Amino acid sequence: MNLEGRQCGAVDKSGLVRPGRRFSLVTSELDMGPRTALVDRLPRIEGDRADAHMNAVRGCVPGLAELIVGAPVIYDPALPPGGPRSRWMPLVREWRGLLKGDLEVLAAPASEGRLHDLAGLGPGSTPAGDDFLTGFIIGCVWTGRPRPPMPDLSSTTWLSAEILRDAAEGLVWRRGRDVLAALAGDEPGTLLEAAGGMINWGSSSGRAWLAGLAAALDGGSVSQERRMMQ
């Protein structure tokens, strides 16, 4: 369930919510993102207005706290501190192999560094090529590597465009943040649980996201990195 910020007057100083950007209402804390509010149930939509019943909002992100009066902040979309521990890199490299089956269409442009060709490509409502790009951008921003230029967002869905903008700004959805935090930690069980939660995110989104993150963290050949920045 998504509502447009410009329709709701959702503008604040943080920049998370501003004219033309959208925010989402979700019913699970695992689905919290940079502009989300947790509700008991999704509202009814009548025309271009929503019966949002704000008294049912159980929590939100910092950028919505001023808009939704009384809603506690329950999720911070900022990237976690630290970086991936070297002990987890063998597992991270395995995630690069997730581009198979329904995601095989992403394998060639991903391995050849043709990131712009991934925009709008593949299965899923996001679609999967954008999920790969999101994971890749998040990995670059998290580790301080130069991120690739933003692809043509007109070639994809509005939701993908929002998620890609968030990634470029260093903002990540809950499942992704759990993976990053686990990679920076020492507990194998925590990492496996976080990775499993991401793999189960949507029909293909989580797998493509992990593959993109792995491509960024594991790096590539010099020629591939140069092509990514073109």
| pLDDT for residue 2 is more than 50 | no
Q: What percent of the chain has pLDDT over 90?
A: 57
| pLDDT for residue 35 is more than 70 | yes
pLDDT tier at 153, thresholds 50, 70, 90: confident
9-18, 52-61, 78-87: least confidently modelled range: 9-18
pLDDT of residue 159: 85
pLDDT tier at 50, thresholds 50, 70, 90: low
Domain parsing of the chain, residue ranges: 2-64, 86-228
* Greater pLDDT, 112 or 17: 112
For residues 194 and 95, the answer to whether their CB atoms sit within 8 Å is no
Mean pLDDT of 34-50: 73
Residues counted in the chain: 230
| pLDDT for residue 128 is more than 80 | yes
Residue among 87, 42, 56, 32 at smallest CA distance from 201: 32
Q: Are strands 36-39 and 57-60 parallel, antiparallel or unpaired?
A: antiparallel
* Greater pLDDT, 89 or 221: 89
pLDDT tier at 51, thresholds 50, 70, 90: low
Residue among 1, 11, 189, 217 at smallest CA distance from 96: 217
| pLDDT for residue 78 is more than 90 | yes
Rounded mean pLDDT of the chain?
Answer: 83
Tokens of 208: 């493509």
**Highest mean predicted confidence (pLDDT) among 23-37, 142-156, 188-202:** 188-202
Q: What confidence tens digit (pLDDT) does each residue in 198-220 have?
A: 999 999 999 999 999 999 999 74
| pLDDT for residue 12 is more than 50 | no
Report the chain's C-alpha Rg in angstroms: 18
Tokens of 168: 């470029």
| pLDDT for residue 223 is more than 50 | no
* CA atoms of 80 and 178, how far apart (whole Å): 9
| pLDDT for residue 54 is more than 70 | no
pLDDT of residue 6: 34
Amino acid of residue 79: L
Tokens of 110: 């991903």
What's the pTM value of the predicted model, to 2 decimals?
0.83
- Spell out the alpha helix ranges (H) of 9-153: 89-95, 107-111, 128-143
* Greater pLDDT, 219 or 108: 108
* CA atoms of 138 and 170, how far apart (whole Å): 7
